[in-house]
Amino acid sequence: MERSTVTGKAKCARGRWQAAGFTLLELMIVISIIIILASITLPQYQKTITYTREAVLRDDLRKMRGLIDQFAADKGRLPQSLDEIVSEGYMREVPIDPFTGQKDWAIMNGEDPNSSEGEQGVTDVHSASADTSTEGTPYSEW
């Protein structure tokens, strides 16, 4: 069998030119290697996504708690909701919970220490997710 280096074709015994290609075995080996590599990297990719969401959740909670404290210090009372913090200009919008994909934060209300009449206000905020973190604690307890 004579091969042409210019055209990438091989000359068969009858004198015709046939396209040189991959055999089924070669394709199966390449596909198997790709599947093995994908199965190794997929779990690590999923862990990275979870760690990233946890970092975003920690940052959002820290910022919102700081803004609740700032609001209370500036206004002399606790906010009644996260929407009040937004409407007063302390933050642009309520962030999306990275685990629920919604703006459905679990709000903790408590007695306002600055109020003489025992009024209530937002004292803390948690994730509304029922999932458990990589550390083993529920996100709703963060």
DSSP code string of 95-133: PPPTTTSSS--EEEEEE-TT-SS--EEEEEEE-----B-
- Arithmetic mean of pLDDT, 57-67: 95
Amino acid at 60: D
Cβ atoms of 44 and 35 within 8 Å: the answer is: no
Summarize pLDDT for 34-60 with one digit per residue, the tens. Answer: 999 999 999 999 999 999 999 999 999
Integer Rg of the chain from CA: 30
For the full predicted model, state whether its pTM sits above 0.75.
no
Distance of alpha carbon 38 from alpha carbon 52, whole angstroms = 21
Residue reference for tokens 């091989």: 10
Position 1 pLDDT exceeds 60: no
What pLDDT does 117 receive? Answer: 79
Amino acid at 112: D
What pLDDT does 123 receive? Answer: 92
What pLDDT does 13 receive? Answer: 62
Instruction: Pick the more confident residue, 134 or 7.
Output: 134
Instruction: Pick the more confident residue, 10 or 140.
Output: 140
DSSP code string of 39-61: HHHHHHHHHHHHHHHHHHHHHHH
